[in-house]
């Protein structure tokens, strides 16, 4: 059976580039010109917390997580397909006329990899097939950044509101609204506070540097994974090369 494959993570990266171009430009548009002490025009200081950033930055975060997950999923899927082909050829040499049990198990696992999304599933799949812990494949800062990105993606991708209590809720208040929200966002909240310095989840998320920061984290993470899985499968390698060359807010790819 012949089939076609399209690596959507590469297309999503091009869409990300277009959105990032507009995002970078929008900051300049929203920063008014003012007269300085010499009566000369200059850019005013941008607002400390520009919540208008959300209009584009949240979409950039969702795309970023999809690009990262898609690239990692492509690596394991393509490697699985190559291993299946080797198993088929081995069976033919042994005179087999039907898929072996090992082939059937590999088919089933490939379906799980390609059809069952989610960051936690992907970590388990890498651990099982490559004997690689995605939690230990990089330094602590990058690992926490990636985990924070997926916490945000899991919230933002559904288009629901984000709720933050006005003060920290103790374990004794676990049955009181919005304790569940506090627990859900905790990992991302701690990371954003450590990175951008504000106590408020929303103020940290409003920082203009948030999308570019998470793309830098993504590139570092992919580079570290590449070091463990060299050589990468051919299709995945093209996507990682695009990521490695990407510079936030600039035109990077010819169309």
Report whether pLDDT(33) > 60. Answer: no
Nearest in space to 58 (alpha carbons), one of 202, 246, 240:
202
Distance CA 165, CA 207 (A): 20
Q: What is the pTM of this model?
A: 0.88
pLDDT at 34 over 60: no
pLDDT at 45 over 60: yes
pLDDT at 47: 59
In the predicted model, what is the mean pLDDT of residues 235-246? 93
- 149, pLDDT greater than 60: yes
How large a percentage of the chain has pLDDT more than 70? Answer: 91
Handedness of CA 81, 90, 125, 138 (dihedral sign): negative
* Chain mean position to CA 255: 23
CA 46 to chain centre: 28
Domain-by-domain residue ranges, the chain?
8-72+134-245
pLDDT tens for residues 102-135? 889 999 999 999 998 899 999 999 999 999 999 9
pLDDT at 253 over 90: no
pLDDT (mean) for 144-156: 96
Within 13 A of 70's CA, how many CA atoms are on the CB side?
A: 19
Q: Of the ranges 94-103, 193-202, 230-239, which is most confident?
A: 193-202
What pLDDT does 64 receive?
A: 98
Average pLDDT value for the chain: 89
Q: 243 pLDDT exceeds 60?
A: yes
Q: Tell me the pLDDT band of 32, cut-offs 50, 70 and 90.
A: low
pLDDT for 164 equals 86
Query: How many degrees, rounded to 5, is the angle at CA 19 between CA 208 and CA 120?
Result: 80
Confidence at residue 123, expressed as pLDDT on a 0 to 100 scale: 96
* Alpha carbons 254 and 67: distance in angstroms, whole number: 19
């Amino acid at each position: 059976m012949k089939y076609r494959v399209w690596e959507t993570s590469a297309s999503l990266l091009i869409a990300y580039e277009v959105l990032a171009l507009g995002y970078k430009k929008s900051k300049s548009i929203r920063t008014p010109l003012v007269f300085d002490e010499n009566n000369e025009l200059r850019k005013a200081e941008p607002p400390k917390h520009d919540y208008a950033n959300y209009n584009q930055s949240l979409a950039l975060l969702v795309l970023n997580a999809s690009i990262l997950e898609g690239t990692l999923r492509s690596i394991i899927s393509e490697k699985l397909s190559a291993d299946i082909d080797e198993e088929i050829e081995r069976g033919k040499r042994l005179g087999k006329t039907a898929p072996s049990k090992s082939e059937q198990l590999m088919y089933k696992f490939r379906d799980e990899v390609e059809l069952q999304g989610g960051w936690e599933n992907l970590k388990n799949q890498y651990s099982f097939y490559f004997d690689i812990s995605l939690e230990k494949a990089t330094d602590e800062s990058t690992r926490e950044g990636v985990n924070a990105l997926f916490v945000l993606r899991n919230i933002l991708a559904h288009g629901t509101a984000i709720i933050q209590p006005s003060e920290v809720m103790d374990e004794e208040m676990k049955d009181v609204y919005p304790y569940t929200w506090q627990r859900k966002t905790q990992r991302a909240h701690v990371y954003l506070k450590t990175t951008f310095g504000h106590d408020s989840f929303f103020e940290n998320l409003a920082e203009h540097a948030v999308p570019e920061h998470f793309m830098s984290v993504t590139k570092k993470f992919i580079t570290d994974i590449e070091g463990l899985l060299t050589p990468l499968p051919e299709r995945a390698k093209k996507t990682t090369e695009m990521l490695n060359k990407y510079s936030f807010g600039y035109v990077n790819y010819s169309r």
